[in-house]
Amino acid sequence: MAHAASTPRAPLAVAVLVSGTGTNLQALLDTVHGQEAEIVAVASSSAGAPALTRATERGVPTAVFARADYSDRAARDSALADWLADRGARLVVLAGYMELLGAAFLERFGGAVINVHPSLLPAFPGLGAIEQALQYGVKVFGVTVHFVDAGIDSGPVILQRAVELPSAGSPEEVLAALRPVEHALLPEAVRLFARGALSVDPANPRRVVMSPKSAPGVESGG
């Protein structure tokens, strides 16, 4: 008896929020864009962000939502959410986005906002994570991709990878070592989300569970 072919999964519509150079955006454009995902919007908190040029060069719609242009953060978040929703975004990726998002925005995209952070969370959350780690004197640094909640880098962990740098002496040196890890883990997290391979453990909302064999060789946690 013949079996009907399974219907291919449509690419995941992804919005990316940026504030700076956009190297993580570029990693997404070079890997998952046009494959498992389609980047449908790039929004920046700064009009001068080089990341906007990266998006424009690939034909991705861009917009700027500077907090100074709105009466308050809630108004900015509302306008941003409306713009992303109008473009059909189903996942929001924070790729070097240097602004906090309020509860209303996170509820609008419930369970579908992820962030990449240059530390092994829960260690060194917030701004200046690499500087915090250097000051503390750690020998192992790392990258975390996590779901975003109302706290500061406190959402459930999706992927992590550690890098041993026993002689690191400057933030620039650490960042150079972590960049390739960020560029690998963030697209992998988007792939996993696109495949529906991520879920929150009902017995422990802090834990992200992956479908079996969904991410071979990639450390995960939550």
Tokens representing 202?
Answer: 């009902």
Cross-sheet strand order for the sheet of 157-164: 62-64, 37-44, 12-18, 91-94, 113-117, 140-147, 157-164
Q: Does 3 participate in catalysis according to the annotation?
A: no
What is the residue whose two structure tokens read 């917030």?
126
Pairing mode of beta strands 113-117, 37-44: unpaired
- SS3 state of residue 220: strand
Tokens representing 44?
Answer: 């920046």
Tokens representing 174?
Answer: 């650490």
Of residues 3, 33, 117, 146, which has the active-site annotation? 117
Enclosing H/E stretch for 172: helix 171-194
Catalytic residues: 117
